[in-house]
Chains A and B, each alone.
Chain A
Amino acid sequence: MKGYSVIGKRVPRTDSLAKAIGSAKYFADITLPRMLYGRILRSPYPHAKIVNIDTSKAKALPGVKGVVTGKDTAGLPYGVSSAILDEYLLEIDKVRFVGDAVAAVAAVDEDTAEEALTLIDVDYEILPAVFDPFEAMQEGAPKIHDQVERNISARAFMHTGNVDQGFKESDYVYEDRFTFSRVSHVQMEPYGALASYDPVGKLDMWIPSSCLLIKRTALSYLLKMPLKDLRLHECCFGGHFGGRTDCQSAEFCAALLSIKTQRPVNIIYTREETMSVSKHKGNFVIDLKMGIKRDGTLVAEDAKLVMDGGAFASSWVFQVWVPYVYSEARYNIPNHRYEALRVYTNKSSCSMQRYHGDQLIFAEEQMLDKMAKDLGIDPAEIRLRNAHKAGDVLHSKSKITSFPLSETIEKAVTASEWKEKRGKLARGHGIGLACGAGMTGFQMGFRANATAIIKFNEDGSATLFTGVVDVGAGNHSMMAQVVSEELGIPMSDIVLVCSDPELTPPAPGEYSMLAAFTTAEAVRRAAVDAKQQIVKVAAPKLDVEPSSLELKEKRVYVKAYPERWIPLASIIRAAYREGNGIVGKGSCTARAMSEAGWADPLRKKYEGQHAAAYTAGTTIAEVEVDEETGEVKVLSGLPAWDCGVPINPMAVEGQWEGAMVSALGETLYEKHEWDEKTGELVTASFLDYKIPTALDTPSITPIIVEAMESEGAYGAKEAGISGSTGVRAAIANAIYDAIGIQIKENPITPEVILKALAEKSEIKRVK
């Protein structure tokens, strides 16, 4: 990226200092006067009617100030979309998974709140429960939601061309089934919420979130409180990865208790609660069939997916569409059928997750490696032959603008010494490659808009008001970079007021992958707007046209004669004196994203622009497999990915390094398990659920491939999903190179390796 002073530079983030010295405040760090501590009573049964709740003994315990149950609510169900409201954040009639919220208490200290929970008596009528999605879809299976047939919460379907004909035309056809385990996002910050209701009628809240706006809307509806009385505050958030967009029982119960007691209430989950009742990432059973010609061109793909969605819908239809988005984006496959079902089961429910969709990629990319082997074509080459490129129109009629997939393959191949290594390393040592894609934005109606405002202090420093959320990826700092670039103010002279629905204009939440693409663009427009006002005021004072002026180092100077300048501060004050205070405003909505999209319940066909833009990339992994123990060690990780252009390359690298290690964990180590009898999650703590430590991973060496995206700010797309969706498959393909076997289940534990070795497991060729 050329010609910029701040954009495209490796700048330290604005939020790092507070975090490095321990002064950054997360919701659990906040103490308010007369604050109470809350705890939630959770169902021990996976499926049961609530017959009666006796809270009298709990209420009588000294120190307990409030107890609430479902009867204390307006009785309204929650949903990520108003199209599917199926979740009671405090259950009224029945519980649907072990951990479902049944009652909540607030007390003067945590010991008392914990004791009070043991004094609440609940009578349950146990109902039969179902844990497997295929069983749940059977005739006669327990109905988890009364109005839903066969426990199916969502379906996605698309058929382009004719797959049966396509398989006839294929020279080689492959077919196999792939299964995956449930995993958690594992944000390091345990979930919870702080609520503070004051008697005048305003409710202040601090909730870990990817978007305070949508939580405000949901809580306003559930609590029957006008939006203006609900004040959600920005604070530091300890990770999100797609799992903190949904409202959970914490904020709902904290609000109810605070309203009841008229005191602040802080509910902080244990790690076990966070792992059990916060959202999971959905796991699929995938039946995949693909056909290819001898010359290496793909002809047909037929994918059937069944996802275990848990007890509630969450972002339901999105979860079954996203895998298709990446599937159709990467390769040109003329005949393509896709069907995905999301099924209810009596377990914790699943939300979106950062690299959700990578399970289908795992299946497809391994199939491609098998095809490459059978056809005698290099795996990188076979992908180059089928890769989509900028300008292509996909089956859904989505148009791809920038999409440097081929370039990422070539760069990854060069940087990793692929040609010297693939097929040539010692037995047990392998290198693998996989291509992935990411989506920048999706259709989200009016929520696709970002608007930003910039105001100035009389010393020339500026305040930016933007709805952007930073859950750790660096979004706040990115906005400061944009303002700094356009207005020539050092980043340290920019105050950020972010994501506070009361103070800031809206922006798509961090779940949307639109922070760089849309929100930064809105901020850029606001800065340009302010700049135009500034130069208009300054021009007569310097006796030039406004277009002759530029801003740098808090000065307004004449481009042709830089020694002629006025301090920005003077212009700000002059503007006030002249009756026209400078306030910059910018607004932006990505093309086609203001459609209602998948969430539109009236929608019959699913064609249309599924993402505002697409990111593409190639991940390469090298592994070492101990064939006696089955242990897999990842020796190196190289994500060669596209994010459009990087606004802060250091932040983009950090995203991809983190994504690779997180996905490595899911691929090799992470697996949720339930007690078959009680339905309880047995892997709820870090004792039983392990994420990678610094000893489990190599250093990751990302390569940023630039591809200007005209619609995004400075050409940027996104760096939240990019870098992540190809990791799982790259590791599997490296294992294939190392020991000649392919994997059909996840996580890839040592036992899975030994079993695959014994069976000489490879993807089945059926023609």
Chain B
Amino acid sequence: MGINVYRCLPRFEYFAPTTVEEACSLLRKYGAEAKVVAGGTDLLVDMKRRKSLPRYLIGLKRIANLNGITFDESKGLTIGAMVTLQSVINSVPIRERFGLLSSAALKIGTPQVRNMGTVGGNICNASPSADLAPGLLVLDVRLKLISADGERIIPIADFFAGPFKIAIDEGELLTEIQISIPPPRSKGCYKWVTKRTAVDETLVGIAALIALDTKDNICSDIRLGLGSVSPTPMRAIRAEELLRGKRVEDKLIKEVAVLAAKEADPRSRADYRRRMTEVLVVRAINEPLRNIK
């Protein structure tokens, strides 16, 4: 590829639709030659590198109704796809009821990037090391996708098709993320190590959600989301089964961690990543346990 000597973006034609319908119709019209731009923090970087060369750019910032965060005890949490990461961090309901998402959002990038990057953009970029994904997998979120043909709602587990690949049809736009209330007496957390410095790509990211029946210390539910240790973010399903319905004790937590590390499928720095998966799963389980009343 050679050294990147490009300071400028490549040339493109730009549209600024004001409704979802308009955006979808543009997407259908221009197909593979078009890309949507949300916060721009991933796409514009790829374009400057000449890795991505869309002839048409469809800006989403002027579309109304994509920026909202709504919370309701019965329906749960709805996050618009264009909500910025900083807005997620600022949101009181998210911090109080879905704290692991606040932690994950705070991990992403820098203050500047968090003011620009969006939840939808982060999900659709589908980096294997994405920080929101493990938490979203653990919370079993659903994604609302709209196209000229209508809308569909799919579980997030079905959305990640490969590194930087999503199961989205041409002409479809992600508009909303829907999250149900977590089980009662449950707490979650997000733990990570980075590749190098504090502000850096995540090397291993573990999201955990644990529900505890405090009477007899039985784990009524456990969900483990693993990020950056496989081509797509994943749930450690077999590891979860080891603990679900059992009494919580250190020896068992360690076994869960060992199995989760085996389920992981890291490519580079594989040994260290597996080892960190083990370490962080233990930490990610123990911390919320301390906070459950």
Q: Do chains A and B touch in the complex (CB under 8 A)?
A: yes
Instruction: Give A contacts to B, CB under 8 Å.
Output: 39-40, 42, 44, 98-99, 110-111, 114, 117, 268-270, 272-273, 276-277, 628-631, 665, 668-669, 680-681, 684-685, 687, 690-693, 695-696, 749-751, 754
Contact B193 A684 (CB under 8 A): no
- Which residue of the partner chain, among B2, B11, B195, B275, contacts A754 with CB atoms under 8 Å? B275
Contact A114 B199 (CB under 8 A): no
Contact A687 B201 (CB under 8 A): yes
Contact B4 A684 (CB under 8 A): yes
- Which residue of the partner chain, among B5, B7, B275, B279, contacts A40 with CB atoms under 8 Å? B5
Known contacts A111-B8, A628-B279, A754-B272; is-contact A272 B3 (Cβ 8 Å): yes
Contact A42 B2 (CB under 8 A): yes
Cβ < 8 Å to A, chain B residues 166-195: 193, 195
Specify which chain B residues have a CB less than 8 angstroms from the CB of A691 in the assembled complex.
197
- 7 closest A-B pairs by CB: A695-B198, A272-B4, A690-B197, A44-B2, A669-B196, A690-B196, A628-B279
The complex places the Cα of A681 from the Cα of B1 at a distance, in Å, of 11
Contact A98 B2 (CB under 8 A): yes
Contact B193 A631 (CB under 8 A): yes
- Which residue of the partner chain, among A665, A693, A751, contacts B272 with CB atoms under 8 Å? A751
Contact A695 B7 (CB under 8 A): no
The complex places the Cα of A692 from the Cα of B194 at a distance, in Å, of 13
Specify which chain B residues have a CB less than 8 angstroms from the CB of A631 in the assembled complex.
193
Q: Which of chain A's residues has its CB closest to B204's CB? A: A629
Contact B197 A693 (CB under 8 A): yes
Contact A273 B4 (CB under 8 A): yes
The complex places the Cα of A270 from the Cα of B5 at a distance, in Å, of 6
- The verdict on B276 contacting chain A, using a C-beta distance below 8 Å, is yes
Q: Which of chain A's residues has its CB closest to B201's CB? A: A687
Known contacts A270-B7, A751-B269; is-contact A680 B1 (Cβ 8 Å): yes
Q: Which of chain B's residues has its CB closest to A669's CB? A: B196
Known contacts A110-B8, A631-B193; is-contact A273 B3 (Cβ 8 Å): yes
> Can you show 18 pairs from A to B with CB atoms below 8 A apart?
A111-B8, A114-B6, A114-B7, A268-B7, A270-B7, A272-B4, A272-B5, A629-B193, A684-B3, A687-B201, A690-B195, A693-B197, A693-B199, A695-B198, A695-B199, A696-B197, A749-B196, A754-B272
Specify which chain A residues have a CB less than 8 angstroms from the CB of B7 in the assembled complex.
110, 114, 268, 270
A747 CB, min distance to chain B CBs, angstroms: 8
- The verdict on B158 contacting chain A, using a C-beta distance below 8 Å, is no
Main secondary structure of the interface of B (DSSP, over half): loop
Instruction: Give B contacts to A, CB under 8 Å.
Output: 1-8, 11, 193, 195-201, 269, 272, 275-276, 279
Contact B199 A277 (CB under 8 A): no
Q: Which of chain A's residues has its CB closest to B48's CB? A: A270
The complex places the Cα of A110 from the Cα of B9 at a distance, in Å, of 10
The complex places the Cα of A687 from the Cα of B200 at a distance, in Å, of 8
Specify which chain A residues have a CB less than 8 angstroms from the CB of B200 in the assembled complex.
690
A53 CB, min distance to chain B CBs, angstroms: 16
Specify which chain B residues have a CB less than 8 angstroms from the CB of A751 in the assembled complex.
269, 272
The complex places the Cα of A631 from the Cα of B199 at a distance, in Å, of 14
Specify which chain A residues have a CB less than 8 angstroms from the CB of B276 in the assembled complex.
629
Max chain A Cβ within 10 angstroms of own Cβ: one of B7, B195, B276:
B7
Contact B197 A98 (CB under 8 A): no
Contact A111 B193 (CB under 8 A): no
Contact B197 A669 (CB under 8 A): yes
The complex places the Cα of A629 from the Cα of B203 at a distance, in Å, of 12
The complex places the Cα of A751 from the Cα of B201 at a distance, in Å, of 17
B22 CB, min distance to chain A CBs, angstroms: 29
Q: Which of chain B's residues has its CB closest to A269's CB? A: B5
Known contacts A629-B279, A631-B193, A750-B193; is-contact A680 B199 (Cβ 8 Å): no
Specify which chain A residues have a CB less than 8 angstroms from the CB of B1 in the assembled complex.
44, 680
Specify which chain B residues have a CB less than 8 angstroms from the CB of A695 in the assembled complex.
197-199
Contact B6 A270 (CB under 8 A): yes
Contact A114 B5 (CB under 8 A): yes
Contact B197 A692 (CB under 8 A): yes
The complex places the Cα of A239 from the Cα of B275 at a distance, in Å, of 40
The complex places the Cα of A270 from the Cα of B200 at a distance, in Å, of 21
Contact A750 B5 (CB under 8 A): no
A408 CB, min distance to chain B CBs, angstroms: 30
Contact B8 A693 (CB under 8 A): no
Contact A111 B11 (CB under 8 A): yes
The complex places the Cα of A712 from the Cα of B276 at a distance, in Å, of 54
The complex places the Cα of A272 from the Cα of B4 at a distance, in Å, of 6
The complex places the Cα of A709 from the Cα of B165 at a distance, in Å, of 65
Max chain B Cβ within 10 angstroms of own Cβ: one of A99, A269, A669, A691:
A669
Specify which chain A residues have a CB less than 8 angstroms from the CB of B199 in the assembled complex.
690, 693, 695-696
The complex places the Cα of A434 from the Cα of B1 at a distance, in Å, of 43
Known contacts A628-B279, A750-B272, A751-B269; is-contact A685 B197 (Cβ 8 Å): no
B273 CB, min distance to chain A CBs, angstroms: 10
Max chain A Cβ within 10 angstroms of own Cβ: one of B3, B4, B193:
B3
Q: Which of chain A's residues has its CB closest to B279's CB? A: A628
Q: Which of chain B's residues has its CB closest to A276's CB? A: B3
Contact B197 A39 (CB under 8 A): no
Specify which chain A residues have a CB less than 8 angstroms from the CB of B197 in the assembled complex.
665, 669, 690-693, 695-696
A328 CB, min distance to chain B CBs, angstroms: 35
Contact A42 B193 (CB under 8 A): no
The complex places the Cα of A98 from the Cα of B3 at a distance, in Å, of 8
Max chain A Cβ within 10 angstroms of own Cβ: one of B6, B201, B269:
B6
Contact A680 B198 (CB under 8 A): no
Max chain B Cβ within 10 angstroms of own Cβ: one of A44, A681, A690, A749:
A690
A491 CB, min distance to chain B CBs, angstroms: 36
Specify which chain A residues have a CB less than 8 angstroms from the CB of B6 in the assembled complex.
114, 270
Known contacts A44-B2, A680-B2, A684-B3; is-contact A696 B198 (Cβ 8 Å): yes
Specify which chain A residues have a CB less than 8 angstroms from the CB of B5 in the assembled complex.
39-40, 42, 114, 117, 269-270, 272-273
The complex places the Cα of A690 from the Cα of B3 at a distance, in Å, of 18
Known contacts A629-B276, A754-B275; is-contact A693 B198 (Cβ 8 Å): yes
A753 CB, min distance to chain B CBs, angstroms: 11
A578 CB, min distance to chain B CBs, angstroms: 58
B114 CB, min distance to chain A CBs, angstroms: 14
The complex places the Cα of A498 from the Cα of B196 at a distance, in Å, of 40
- Which residue of the partner chain, among A277, A629, A669, contacts B3 with CB atoms under 8 Å? A277
The complex places the Cα of A99 from the Cα of B7 at a distance, in Å, of 16
A656 CB, min distance to chain B CBs, angstroms: 21
The complex places the Cα of A40 from the Cα of B7 at a distance, in Å, of 12
A93 CB, min distance to chain B CBs, angstroms: 20
- Which residue of the partner chain, among A114, A272, A687, A696, contacts B8 with CB atoms under 8 Å? A114
Known contacts A44-B2, A273-B3; 20 further A-B pairs (Cβ under 8 A): A98-B2, A98-B3, A111-B8, A114-B8, A270-B3, A270-B6, A272-B5, A628-B279, A629-B276, A680-B3, A681-B3, A692-B197, A693-B198, A695-B197, A695-B198, A695-B199, A696-B199, A749-B196, A751-B269, A751-B272
